[in-house]
Amino acid sequence: MANVLVIRLSAIGDVAMTIPVIYSAAKANPQDSFTVLTQSFLMPIFLHRPSNVNIIGINTKTSEKTLCGLLRFATAFSRYDYDLVLDLHNVIRTKIIRTFFQWRKRPVYVLDKARKEREALTRMYHKKLKPLPLMTERYADVFRKGGLKYEDTFRTLFSEEKPDRKALESIAGVKQEPWVGIAPFAKHRGKIYPLEAMEEVVAVLSKKKHFRLFLFGGRGKEEEMLARWEAKYPHVKSMVGICSLDQELMLISRLDVLLCMDSANMHFASLVGTPVLSIWGATHPYSGFYGYHQDLENAIQLDLPCRPCSIYGEKKCYRGDWACMTQILPMDVVKRVEAFLQKQQTDRDENHYKS
Protein backbone atom coordinates (compact mmCIF):
# COMPACT_ATOMS: atom_id res chain seq x y z
CA MET A 1 0.00 0.00 0.00
CA ALA A 2 1.48 3.32 -1.09
CA ASN A 3 0.71 6.79 0.17
CA VAL A 4 0.83 9.03 -2.92
CA LEU A 5 1.07 12.84 -2.95
CA VAL A 6 -0.29 14.60 -6.05
CA ILE A 7 0.55 18.31 -6.49
CA ARG A 8 -1.34 20.75 -8.73
CA LEU A 9 -1.75 24.26 -7.37
CA SER A 10 -3.33 26.27 -10.22
CA ALA A 11 -4.97 27.43 -12.43
CA ILE A 12 -8.66 26.63 -11.92
CA GLY A 13 -9.14 24.90 -15.26
CA ASP A 14 -5.87 22.97 -14.95
CA VAL A 15 -6.80 21.70 -11.50
CA ALA A 16 -10.22 20.69 -12.84
CA MET A 17 -8.49 18.66 -15.56
CA THR A 18 -6.62 16.64 -12.94
CA ILE A 19 -9.84 15.29 -11.43
CA PRO A 20 -10.71 12.67 -14.10
CA VAL A 21 -7.13 11.40 -13.91
CA ILE A 22 -6.87 11.34 -10.11
CA TYR A 23 -10.25 9.65 -9.68
CA SER A 24 -9.46 7.09 -12.39
CA ALA A 25 -6.05 6.33 -10.83
CA ALA A 26 -7.58 6.03 -7.36
CA LYS A 27 -10.10 3.48 -8.60
CA ALA A 28 -7.42 1.54 -10.47
CA ASN A 29 -5.25 1.41 -7.32
CA PRO A 30 -7.74 0.88 -4.45
CA GLN A 31 -5.00 -0.39 -2.13
CA ASP A 32 -3.20 2.97 -2.31
CA SER A 33 -4.15 6.34 -0.82
CA PHE A 34 -3.90 9.61 -2.74
CA THR A 35 -3.51 13.07 -1.23
CA VAL A 36 -4.01 16.06 -3.52
CA LEU A 37 -2.30 19.35 -2.64
CA THR A 38 -4.06 22.28 -4.31
CA GLN A 39 -5.29 25.80 -3.61
CA SER A 40 -7.68 25.90 -0.66
CA PHE A 41 -10.42 27.66 -2.60
CA LEU A 42 -10.41 24.85 -5.19
CA MET A 43 -11.05 22.06 -2.72
CA PRO A 44 -14.87 22.13 -3.26
CA ILE A 45 -14.58 20.97 -6.88
CA PHE A 46 -13.33 17.57 -5.72
CA LEU A 47 -16.90 16.35 -5.28
CA HIS A 48 -17.86 12.72 -4.68
CA ARG A 49 -14.26 11.60 -4.76
CA PRO A 50 -13.19 8.00 -4.21
CA SER A 51 -12.72 7.02 -0.57
CA ASN A 52 -8.94 6.75 -1.02
CA VAL A 53 -8.57 10.39 -2.19
CA ASN A 54 -7.92 13.20 0.32
CA ILE A 55 -7.49 16.93 -0.35
CA ILE A 56 -5.12 19.34 1.41
CA GLY A 57 -5.23 23.08 0.79
CA ILE A 58 -2.46 25.64 0.36
CA ASN A 59 -2.95 29.38 -0.01
CA THR A 60 -0.31 30.98 -2.22
CA LYS A 61 -2.16 34.31 -2.13
CA THR A 62 -1.69 34.84 1.62
CA SER A 63 0.16 32.61 4.10
CA GLU A 64 2.24 30.75 1.50
CA LYS A 65 2.68 33.69 -0.88
CA THR A 66 6.23 34.65 0.13
CA LEU A 67 9.28 32.45 -0.18
CA CYS A 68 9.59 32.29 3.60
CA GLY A 69 5.97 31.24 3.94
CA LEU A 70 6.33 28.58 1.26
CA LEU A 71 9.52 27.23 2.85
CA ARG A 72 7.80 26.98 6.24
CA PHE A 73 4.92 25.11 4.63
CA ALA A 74 7.21 22.77 2.66
CA THR A 75 9.34 22.03 5.74
CA ALA A 76 6.34 21.03 7.83
CA PHE A 77 4.53 19.28 5.00
CA SER A 78 7.51 17.14 3.99
CA ARG A 79 7.36 15.42 7.38
CA TYR A 80 4.24 13.59 6.23
CA ASP A 81 5.06 10.05 5.22
CA TYR A 82 4.40 9.99 1.49
CA ASP A 83 5.93 7.14 -0.47
CA LEU A 84 5.62 8.76 -3.87
CA VAL A 85 5.28 12.35 -5.11
CA LEU A 86 3.65 13.27 -8.44
CA ASP A 87 4.14 16.88 -9.54
CA LEU A 88 1.43 17.70 -12.10
CA HIS A 89 2.37 21.37 -12.19
CA ASN A 90 6.16 21.68 -12.51
CA VAL A 91 6.58 25.35 -11.56
CA ILE A 92 8.88 27.06 -9.06
CA ARG A 93 6.54 26.57 -6.09
CA THR A 94 6.05 22.87 -6.75
CA LYS A 95 9.75 22.41 -7.42
CA ILE A 96 10.47 23.80 -3.96
CA ILE A 97 7.91 21.51 -2.32
CA ARG A 98 9.03 18.39 -4.14
CA THR A 99 12.71 19.12 -3.37
CA PHE A 100 12.00 18.68 0.33
CA PHE A 101 10.66 15.19 -0.39
CA GLN A 102 13.63 14.39 -2.61
CA TRP A 103 15.91 15.27 0.31
CA ARG A 104 14.00 12.62 2.24
CA LYS A 105 14.75 10.12 -0.55
CA ARG A 106 11.16 9.98 -1.79
CA PRO A 107 10.71 9.21 -5.52
CA VAL A 108 9.32 12.15 -7.49
CA TYR A 109 7.78 12.12 -10.97
CA VAL A 110 7.11 15.32 -12.87
CA LEU A 111 4.80 16.56 -15.63
CA ASP A 112 6.35 17.00 -19.07
CA LYS A 113 5.09 20.42 -20.22
CA ALA A 114 6.15 19.86 -23.85
CA ARG A 115 7.62 23.33 -24.18
CA LYS A 116 9.28 22.70 -27.56
CA GLU A 117 6.09 21.32 -29.07
CA ARG A 118 4.09 24.27 -27.74
CA GLU A 119 6.60 26.72 -29.19
CA ALA A 120 6.32 25.03 -32.59
CA LEU A 121 2.54 25.24 -32.42
CA THR A 122 2.39 28.94 -31.55
CA ARG A 123 5.34 30.54 -33.32
CA MET A 124 4.65 33.23 -35.91
CA TYR A 125 6.20 31.42 -38.87
CA HIS A 126 6.48 27.77 -39.91
CA LYS A 127 3.96 26.56 -37.37
CA LYS A 128 3.53 22.86 -36.78
CA LEU A 129 -0.24 22.78 -36.58
CA LYS A 130 -0.81 19.33 -35.21
CA PRO A 131 -2.61 18.26 -32.03
CA LEU A 132 -0.54 17.80 -28.91
CA PRO A 133 -1.55 15.14 -26.38
CA LEU A 134 -4.36 16.26 -24.09
CA MET A 135 -3.28 17.48 -20.66
CA THR A 136 -5.32 14.70 -19.07
CA GLU A 137 -3.15 12.21 -20.96
CA ARG A 138 0.03 14.02 -19.84
CA TYR A 139 -1.22 13.87 -16.25
CA ALA A 140 -1.95 10.16 -16.65
CA ASP A 141 1.62 9.62 -17.93
CA VAL A 142 2.96 10.91 -14.61
CA PHE A 143 0.93 8.29 -12.74
CA ARG A 144 2.18 5.60 -15.12
CA LYS A 145 5.80 6.73 -14.68
CA GLY A 146 5.26 6.37 -10.95
CA GLY A 147 4.43 2.69 -11.44
CA LEU A 148 0.70 3.08 -10.80
CA LYS A 149 -2.01 1.32 -12.76
CA TYR A 150 -4.11 3.60 -14.88
CA GLU A 151 -7.37 3.19 -16.78
CA ASP A 152 -9.59 6.09 -17.87
CA THR A 153 -12.84 5.27 -16.07
CA PHE A 154 -14.07 8.73 -15.04
CA ARG A 155 -17.29 9.97 -16.64
CA THR A 156 -18.83 12.62 -14.41
CA LEU A 157 -18.67 13.92 -10.83
CA PHE A 158 -22.27 12.77 -10.50
CA SER A 159 -21.77 9.18 -11.68
CA GLU A 160 -22.27 7.78 -8.20
CA GLU A 161 -24.42 10.47 -6.60
CA LYS A 162 -26.97 12.37 -8.67
CA PRO A 163 -27.49 16.14 -8.23
CA ASP A 164 -30.05 17.19 -5.64
CA ARG A 165 -32.95 18.21 -7.89
CA LYS A 166 -34.89 19.98 -5.13
CA ALA A 167 -31.88 22.05 -4.08
CA LEU A 168 -31.27 22.94 -7.72
CA GLU A 169 -34.88 23.95 -8.29
CA SER A 170 -34.67 26.39 -5.40
CA ILE A 171 -31.84 28.13 -7.25
CA ALA A 172 -32.72 27.81 -10.93
CA GLY A 173 -36.38 26.79 -11.03
CA VAL A 174 -38.01 23.76 -12.61
CA LYS A 175 -36.60 22.72 -15.96
CA GLN A 176 -39.32 22.85 -18.60
CA GLU A 177 -37.32 23.90 -21.66
CA PRO A 178 -33.75 23.59 -22.95
CA TRP A 179 -31.28 25.22 -20.58
CA VAL A 180 -28.36 27.02 -22.22
CA GLY A 181 -25.44 28.26 -20.16
CA ILE A 182 -23.27 31.16 -21.31
CA ALA A 183 -19.88 31.83 -19.73
CA PRO A 184 -18.44 34.80 -21.68
CA PHE A 185 -15.27 35.45 -19.70
CA ALA A 186 -11.73 34.09 -19.51
CA LYS A 187 -8.52 35.17 -17.81
CA HIS A 188 -6.83 36.71 -20.87
CA ARG A 189 -7.99 38.99 -23.69
CA GLY A 190 -6.95 36.50 -26.36
CA LYS A 191 -9.52 34.01 -25.09
CA ILE A 192 -12.53 36.35 -24.76
CA TYR A 193 -15.11 36.73 -27.52
CA PRO A 194 -15.92 40.48 -27.79
CA LEU A 195 -18.49 41.19 -25.11
CA GLU A 196 -20.62 43.40 -27.34
CA ALA A 197 -20.82 40.48 -29.79
CA MET A 198 -21.68 38.04 -27.01
CA GLU A 199 -24.41 40.40 -25.81
CA GLU A 200 -25.87 40.22 -29.31
CA VAL A 201 -25.85 36.42 -29.03
CA VAL A 202 -27.68 36.68 -25.70
CA ALA A 203 -30.17 39.15 -27.15
CA VAL A 204 -31.08 36.89 -30.08
CA LEU A 205 -31.30 33.69 -28.04
CA SER A 206 -33.36 35.38 -25.33
CA LYS A 207 -36.10 36.14 -27.85
CA LYS A 208 -36.62 32.43 -28.39
CA LYS A 209 -39.20 31.56 -25.76
CA HIS A 210 -38.31 27.88 -25.80
CA PHE A 211 -34.82 28.58 -24.39
CA ARG A 212 -33.72 29.62 -20.91
CA LEU A 213 -30.30 31.21 -20.51
CA PHE A 214 -28.05 31.06 -17.46
CA LEU A 215 -25.05 33.39 -17.25
CA PHE A 216 -21.83 32.49 -15.42
CA GLY A 217 -18.98 34.76 -14.36
CA GLY A 218 -17.05 36.22 -11.45
CA ARG A 219 -17.60 39.02 -8.99
CA GLY A 220 -17.02 42.71 -9.71
CA LYS A 221 -17.21 43.96 -13.29
CA GLU A 222 -18.27 40.58 -14.65
CA GLU A 223 -21.13 40.41 -12.19
CA GLU A 224 -22.25 43.95 -13.08
CA MET A 225 -22.27 43.23 -16.80
CA LEU A 226 -24.21 39.99 -16.46
CA ALA A 227 -26.72 41.71 -14.17
CA ARG A 228 -27.33 44.29 -16.91
CA TRP A 229 -27.92 41.55 -19.45
CA GLU A 230 -30.33 39.80 -17.07
CA ALA A 231 -32.30 43.01 -16.57
CA LYS A 232 -32.32 43.84 -20.29
CA TYR A 233 -33.32 40.52 -21.85
CA PRO A 234 -36.10 38.00 -21.09
CA HIS A 235 -35.52 34.37 -20.10
CA VAL A 236 -32.01 35.27 -18.84
CA LYS A 237 -30.68 34.70 -15.32
CA SER A 238 -27.26 35.58 -13.95
CA MET A 239 -25.94 33.02 -11.48
CA VAL A 240 -23.11 35.17 -10.11
CA GLY A 241 -23.30 35.37 -6.33
CA ILE A 242 -26.22 32.94 -6.19
CA CYS A 243 -24.38 29.62 -6.29
CA SER A 244 -21.54 28.12 -4.35
CA LEU A 245 -19.00 26.28 -6.51
CA ASP A 246 -20.56 22.88 -5.89
CA GLN A 247 -24.04 24.26 -6.64
CA GLU A 248 -22.74 25.80 -9.86
CA LEU A 249 -21.38 22.42 -10.91
CA MET A 250 -24.76 20.90 -10.12
CA LEU A 251 -26.52 23.48 -12.31
CA ILE A 252 -24.05 23.06 -15.16
CA SER A 253 -24.73 19.32 -15.06
CA ARG A 254 -28.38 20.05 -15.93
CA LEU A 255 -27.63 22.32 -18.90
CA ASP A 256 -28.27 21.07 -22.41
CA VAL A 257 -25.17 22.93 -23.59
CA LEU A 258 -22.69 25.50 -22.27
CA LEU A 259 -21.44 28.23 -24.61
CA CYS A 260 -18.08 29.30 -23.26
CA MET A 261 -14.51 30.32 -23.94
CA ASP A 262 -11.30 28.36 -23.54
CA SER A 263 -11.76 28.77 -19.79
CA ALA A 264 -12.36 27.02 -16.48
CA ASN A 265 -16.08 26.78 -17.24
CA MET A 266 -15.33 24.53 -20.20
CA HIS A 267 -13.57 22.17 -17.81
CA PHE A 268 -16.32 22.42 -15.19
CA ALA A 269 -18.83 21.34 -17.83
CA SER A 270 -16.54 18.49 -18.83
CA LEU A 271 -16.40 17.28 -15.22
CA VAL A 272 -20.19 16.91 -15.10
CA GLY A 273 -20.73 15.49 -18.57
CA THR A 274 -22.28 18.59 -20.15
CA PRO A 275 -21.41 19.29 -23.81
CA VAL A 276 -19.80 22.63 -24.62
CA LEU A 277 -19.69 24.91 -27.61
CA SER A 278 -16.39 26.68 -27.01
CA ILE A 279 -15.13 29.78 -28.82
CA TRP A 280 -11.38 29.83 -29.54
CA GLY A 281 -9.27 32.82 -30.54
CA ALA A 282 -5.57 33.21 -29.77
CA THR A 283 -5.44 29.70 -28.31
CA HIS A 284 -6.30 26.43 -30.03
CA PRO A 285 -7.76 23.04 -29.07
CA TYR A 286 -4.57 21.45 -30.44
CA SER A 287 -2.61 22.82 -27.46
CA GLY A 288 -3.92 19.97 -25.31
CA PHE A 289 -6.28 22.02 -23.13
CA TYR A 290 -9.51 20.95 -24.81
CA GLY A 291 -12.29 19.79 -22.52
CA TYR A 292 -12.19 16.23 -21.26
CA HIS A 293 -14.23 13.96 -23.56
CA GLN A 294 -15.62 16.95 -25.46
CA ASP A 295 -16.31 16.70 -29.20
CA LEU A 296 -13.74 18.68 -31.19
CA GLU A 297 -16.41 19.46 -33.80
CA ASN A 298 -18.07 21.72 -31.22
CA ALA A 299 -15.13 24.15 -31.17
CA ILE A 300 -16.04 27.48 -32.78
CA GLN A 301 -12.93 28.92 -34.44
CA LEU A 302 -11.50 30.49 -37.57
CA ASP A 303 -8.72 29.06 -39.69
CA LEU A 304 -6.22 31.95 -39.72
CA PRO A 305 -2.49 31.59 -40.47
CA CYS A 306 -1.60 33.43 -37.25
CA ARG A 307 -3.55 31.00 -35.04
CA PRO A 308 -2.68 29.91 -32.49
CA CYS A 309 -0.31 32.59 -31.29
CA SER A 310 -0.43 31.63 -27.63
CA ILE A 311 -0.95 28.67 -25.32
CA TYR A 312 -2.65 30.68 -22.58
CA GLY A 313 -4.02 33.69 -24.50
CA GLU A 314 -1.93 36.28 -22.69
CA LYS A 315 0.09 37.59 -25.66
CA LYS A 316 -0.73 40.71 -27.67
CA CYS A 317 -2.32 40.24 -31.08
CA TYR A 318 0.30 40.21 -33.87
CA ARG A 319 -2.17 41.82 -36.26
CA GLY A 320 -3.55 44.28 -33.75
CA ASP A 321 -7.20 43.57 -34.62
CA TRP A 322 -7.91 40.26 -32.78
CA ALA A 323 -9.37 38.94 -36.03
CA CYS A 324 -9.51 35.43 -34.58
CA MET A 325 -12.37 36.65 -32.38
CA THR A 326 -13.82 39.71 -34.09
CA GLN A 327 -14.40 37.90 -37.38
CA ILE A 328 -16.63 35.30 -35.72
CA LEU A 329 -20.11 36.72 -36.33
CA PRO A 330 -22.69 36.65 -33.51
CA MET A 331 -25.33 35.12 -35.79
CA ASP A 332 -22.94 32.31 -36.64
CA VAL A 333 -22.62 31.57 -32.93
CA VAL A 334 -26.40 31.66 -32.55
CA LYS A 335 -26.78 29.22 -35.45
CA ARG A 336 -24.28 26.85 -33.85
CA VAL A 337 -26.26 26.86 -30.60
CA GLU A 338 -29.56 26.29 -32.40
CA ALA A 339 -28.12 23.53 -34.60
CA PHE A 340 -26.61 21.79 -31.59
CA LEU A 341 -29.88 21.82 -29.65
CA GLN A 342 -31.80 20.66 -32.70
CA LYS A 343 -29.44 17.73 -33.13
CA GLN A 344 -29.80 16.88 -29.46
CA GLN A 345 -33.57 16.80 -29.84
CA THR A 346 -33.36 14.69 -32.99
CA ASP A 347 -31.08 12.19 -31.25
CA ARG A 348 -33.47 11.98 -28.30
CA ASP A 349 -36.43 11.40 -30.61
CA GLU A 350 -34.56 8.65 -32.50
CA ASN A 351 -33.51 6.92 -29.26
CA HIS A 352 -37.08 7.11 -27.97
CA TYR A 353 -38.37 5.60 -31.20
CA LYS A 354 -35.83 2.75 -31.05
CA SER A 355 -36.73 1.95 -27.45
From the first residue on, what is the mean pLDDT of each consecutive set of 10 residues in the chain (355 residues)? 96 96 98 97 94 96 91 92 96 96 96 95 94 97 98 94 82 92 96 98 92 95 97 96 90 97 97 98 97 97 96 93 97 97 83 66
What does the pLDDT read at residue 26? 98
pTM: 0.94
What does the pLDDT read at residue 345? 84
What does the pLDDT read at residue 354? 67
The CA-based angle 330-332-338, given to 5 degrees, is 105
**Sequence-distant (≥ 6) Cβ neighbours of residue 72 within 8 angstroms:** none
What does the pLDDT read at residue 197? 98
Q: 295-329: b or e for each residue (b if 16 or more CB lie within 10 Å)?
A: eeebbbbeeeeebbbbbbbebebeeeebbbbeebe
The one-letter amino acid code at 167 reads A
Is the distance from CB of 163 to CB of 254 less than 8 angstroms?
yes
Is the distance from CB of 177 to CB of 200 less than 8 angstroms?
no
Residue of 142, 160, 151 lying closest to 28 (CA atoms): 151
**For residue 11, cis peptide bond before it (omega within 30 degrees of 0):** yes
Q: Where are the beta strands (DSSP E) in the chain?
A: 3-7, 33-39, 53-58, 84-87, 108-110, 179-183, 212-215, 236-238, 257-261, 276-279, 299-300
Is the distance from CB of 300 to CB of 279 less than 8 angstroms?
yes
What does the pLDDT read at residue 355? 62
- Phi then psi for 4, rounded to 5 degrees? -105, 130
User: How far is residue 305's CA from residue 311's CA, in Å, rounded to a whole number?
Assistant: 16
